[in-house]
Amino acid sequence: MPIPHDQQNDSAAPPLGAEQTLRQRAEEKLRATRGDNLDALSLDQARQLLHELQVHQIELEMQNEELRRVQGALESARARYFDLYDLAPVGYITLNPQGLILQANLRTTILLGVSRGDLVKQPLSHFIVPEDQDEYYLRRRHLFTIGTPQVYEVRMKHNTTGDVFWARLEMTRGQDSETQAQVCRTTLSDISEQKLVHAALRENEERFRTIVESVSHIAVQGYAPDGTVTLWNPASEKLYGYSAAEALGKHLVDLIIPPEMQIAMRQAIAQMMTTGIGIPGSELLLMRKDGSRVAVFSNHTVTEVRGRGKELYRIDIDLTERKQLENALHAANLLLENQLGELQNLHIQVLEQSIRDPLTHLYNRRYLNETLPREIVLAFRHNYAIGILILDIDHFKTINDTYGHLAGDETLVAIARALTTHLRASDIVCRYGGEEFLCLLMNTTQEFVLHRAEQLRAAIADLLIVPVHPTARVTASIGVALLPTHGDDMIAILKSADEALYQAKTAGRNCVRLAQAG
């Protein structure tokens, strides 16, 4: 997504010198057209000439007014374009064919830990770990030689902290609007949290499969929504006579269901996948590979794995030794349910971790970016206002430098606790970044929001942060904005609140300021 360089609007009214030149040219044209016999014109001819001049003057004034209007619209559009570019949740980078950075938005500077001025003319490869640079060079070469968009993942490092993070790069070939040279337009997304989630899921699934494979007397199978086999443990091989290689990818009905039961079983599978409810355990007479029948106690469980959809798990117990295996069946059911429960709990835990700040346990900026657009839609649908408070701890760097980062962490935790204590259960509190917090107050009024902001400011000023100093105090500056008064979308309302915060800072800190109505 390119940002124009220095776009100048050519539609502005011409300067005074240009008007004089234009007048001289007009007079010359008039003399060439009518000659120098103006004195010889009759009264009617002079009136006609005056009328034409007045008409032309009005036409010129109307054209100038239209040009000024177009210029204003262009300037407004350019301002909105810059806001969208810099406030985007992903990094936007423009590279030349040699891989040097030509342009980058604000999100890129945050992800890479380098100011925008220092980024320009640097090779993007400087921020990619050595082990992944070959992949980057290969993808960039394919982009410029073939033109096919490239999407891939590499590890990158933060220039200031040295921290390594996983990034998704999406590259497309484009053309510079000024030089017409080929450029690479790149989006940069931090996918470290997704990588952690996937790694945790793989680890848990491997543990689940290890347990299933180790159960020697309980046949466990897994099935896709269409009934094809995805899991066939050794006990299933022993019970039904099919090896895992023979069974995987085949349909349940074609393997172990007798002809007289096949229609009913297909209907049962469809019902379980539709409702998500398994069939209660029951005795069935199923079929082995050699055609013989075997009595089993069969239980079905449906689970839904995020990213993969629903899966059907089946536990079969050979009732030939029914009495000896009744206890084993009960234990196996508990084991499977516990494992599935652990898997689902892990999904919930990982999801919760991905939207929570690990220090304060408040929601993080990712949760805000996902939630605020939905809340704005609801606010417009039900015709109520949303209050936005952006709170910044005053002189927080001094606390860290004077008392250490542990004291700084304790300060953040104490303020987070104060915010959640003084806000309603329906309100949302996020750690916005560093020493900044953001509060969303739903279905509210300007008077209530300002009153609550002042309460929060006073509560923070009264906090005693013991690890900092037994008598130390901290203060906070708060910027307030309301939707729709100060903005009717996420970008506009956050920008208004941030500008109000800046006003609070410049007013001496430890105060509340309301955004100016647009």
Residue type, 283: E
Determine whether 453 is exposed, middle or buried from the number of CB atoms within 10 Å of its CB (0-12, 13-18, 19+). buried
Task: Give the residue extent of every domain in the chain.
Answer: 16-86, 91-190, 197-353, 365-514
Lowest-confidence pick of 82-86, 153-157, 453-457? 82-86
pLDDT at res. 9: 40
> With bands split at pLDDT 50, 70 and 90, how would you rate the model's confidence at 99?
very high
**Mean of the per-residue pLDDT values of the chain:** 83
Residue 458's alpha-carbon distances to 100, 214, 410, 461, 511, in angstroms, are 50, 61, 19, 5, 9
pLDDT at res. 16: 47
pLDDT tens string 32-49: 655 555 566 677 777 777
pLDDT tens string 333-392: 777 777 777 767 666 666 666 788 889 999 999 899 989 999 999 999 999 999 999 999
- The two domains 91-190 and 197-353 share their CATH topology (first three levels equal): yes
Q: Which two tokens stand for residue 39?
A: 């004195």
- CATH architecture, domain 91-190: 2-Layer Sandwich (3.30)
pLDDT greater than 70 at residue 450: yes
Q: What is the CATH number of domain 365-514?
A: 3.30.70.270
Q: Where are the beta strands (DSSP E) in 335-435?
A: 385-393, 428-433
pLDDT tens string 251-262: 999 999 999 999
> With bands split at pLDDT 50, 70 and 90, how would you rate the model's confidence at 473?
confident
Residue that is written with structure tokens 């993070």 in the block: 165
pLDDT at res. 485: 93
CA dihedral 264, 270, 271, 276 (to 10 degrees): 140
pLDDT tens string 57-70: 787 777 777 777 76
> With bands split at pLDDT 50, 70 and 90, how would you rate the model's confidence at 7?
very low
pLDDT greater than 90 at residue 164: yes
Q: Residue 180: how many CB atoms within 10 A of its CB?
A: 7
Q: 85-106 burial by CB neighbour count: b if 16+ within 10 A, else e?
A: bbebeebbbbbbeebebbbbbe
pLDDT greater than 80 at residue 507: yes
pLDDT at res. 298: 87
Between residues 248 and 81, which one has the greater pLDDT? 248
Q: Residue 404: how many CB atoms within 10 A of its CB?
A: 13
pLDDT at res. 379: 94
Q: Mean pLDDT throughout 115-121?
A: 89
Between residues 177 and 483, which one has the greater pLDDT? 483
Residues near 115 by Cβ (< 8 Å), separated by ≥ 6? 109
pLDDT at res. 5: 41
Omega before residue 484 within 30° of 0, cis: yes
Q: What is the CATH number of domain 197-353?
A: 3.30.450.20
Q: Mean pLDDT throughout 407-413?
A: 89
**Whole-number Å distance between alpha carbons of 185 and 96:** 9
Q: Which two tokens stand for residue 307?
A: 């990213």
Between residues 418 and 306, which one has the greater pLDDT? 418
pLDDT at res. 62: 79
pLDDT greater than 70 at residue 204: no
Q: Is the Cα dihedral 90, 94, 100, 104 positive or negative?
A: negative
pLDDT at res. 4: 43
pLDDT tens string 225-247: 888 998 898 888 988 999 989 99
pLDDT at res. 10: 41
pLDDT at res. 189: 92
Residue that is written with structure tokens 């309302």 in the block: 493
Q: Mean pLDDT throughout 134-156?
A: 93
Q: What is the pTM of this model?
A: 0.38
